[in-house]
Structure 1
């Protein structure tokens, strides 16, 4: 990941960690960034990512940092949208789960294209979407576990805002995000993957592990 994007994400995390609404919620929301960013930096020479993926990962990290700071039900920009459009709830949570499908779709697609025989296969798109939906379901189980363990203290993390169908909506938003990502970004992503391979950085072939 480019140094400028790493610095941007680190700065976003630092700002979001300053007196968050709920410290536990902040940690639960940003744990993916806290784990993923060091890995992206550590392996950026052995497995360099496309610029498209790096930018999307950075954007998603900032979305998570904002949600962690305010809690998804209380992000100010979500309140403005809710009031402006006359919605019943703060929509930032829906946006966050849309991103939960949109960004991981490019990550999954990149890993599968570079390390499996699926490059150029008609199965790449549906398997990418299925992987993102599976991750969304896993995340909902993670939220469920947090609710069982934390009780009412996990309410800010769940951000259901009184919607009994919140879990289903979250997974549906992730499904929409992953599908849109595959439809809208596949061609641009393929061009960047081809450029990466031509530069010799992505010389791993289909079905081969990156060494």
Structure 2
């Protein structure tokens, strides 16, 4: 278990998020939609806090997570399609929609890819190219799962709340564009992280080269493993039969 010494930086992050969340809960424009948007907050914030006692991430990761969660709960106060800053972006870009939801989906990849990478490296001990590539894949997968979750929610609730929650704003390709932006954000985050690693860690180049090397004793898996499993099973059965004969 991680030591019990208080990390005041993390406490300050928690206070900031709690303040933003409290603000978002005060007279939201669409209370039902606010509740739908915050179901994930109710689930994942306790999970993140609880895991922190056993598997603490870096302050950088917690900072990125906090920024994303603040962006999300701000969107829940107005609904993603009606956030004032999104209309400012719409005017700046001469667009036809509120771009706040696009910003948050991009931020999903850009801000959360590094925490995903940190967990992945520390759990799987992967280095080199794959430690940067697979977090992008995982972020895309999480984004797709979230889009499926949104679809399920819309099917279960009344149409007005569902449309406000979905925030497609009439775009039939909204889900695909959201996932593409999440993937782009994750890719940019990993490229930046990789460039920093090349700068501060001399071993990064060697780790990249080694991540594409195949061990000399490497061999195919799949049917080979099935064949070995079947052979072990047959040998075990033969030993059992021999023991029975000697009794």
TM-score relative to the length of structure 2? 0.72
Instruction: Tell me how large the CA RMSD over aligned residues is.
Output: 2.1
Deviations 1:52-74 (A, max 9, x none): 11111110011001110000100
Question: Which residue of the partner structure matches residue 207 of structure 1?
Answer: none
User: Structure 1 CA distance, aligned partners of 2:59 and 2:12?
Assistant: 12
Note if contact 1:22-1:69 (Cα within 8 Å) is conserved in structure 2: yes
Please say if 1:64 is aligned against 2:72: yes
The structure with the larger Rg is: 2
Gaps of 5+ in 1: 193-211
Question: Which residue of the partner structure matches residue 77 of structure 1?
Answer: 85
SS at match of 2:170: coil
Please say if 1:44 is aligned against 2:57: no
Which of 85, 89, 94 is the matching residue for 2:97?
89
Deviation above 4 Å: which 4+ runs of structure 1? Answer: 186-192
SS at match of 2:163: helix
Question: Which residue of the partner structure matches residue 8 of structure 1?
Answer: 16
Please say if 1:176 is aligned against 2:177: no
Question: Which residue of the partner structure matches residue 34 of structure 2?
Answer: 26
SS at match of 2:128: coil
Deviations 1:83-138 (A, max 9, x none): 233111110010011012122211210111111131x2321222111111111111
**1:142–1:76 Cα change, 3 Å:** same
Instruction: Tell me by how many angstroms 1:27 deviates.
Output: 2.5
Instruction: Tell me by how many angstroms 1:165 deviates.
Output: 0.8
Gaps of 5+ in 2: 1-8, 201-247
Which of 161, 169, 172 is the matching residue for 1:164?
172
May I ask how many residue pairs the two structures share in their alignment?
Answer: 191
TM alignment of 1:132-211, pairs within 5 A: 132-152=139-159, 153-186=161-194
User: Structure 2 CA distance, aligned partners of 1:18 and 1:190?
Assistant: 46
**1:87–1:8 Cα change, 3 Å:** same
Instruction: Tell me by how many angstroms 1:169 deviates.
Output: 0.5
Range moving further from structure 2, 172-181 or 81-90: 81-90
Note if contact 1:52-1:189 (Cα within 8 Å) is conserved in structure 2: no
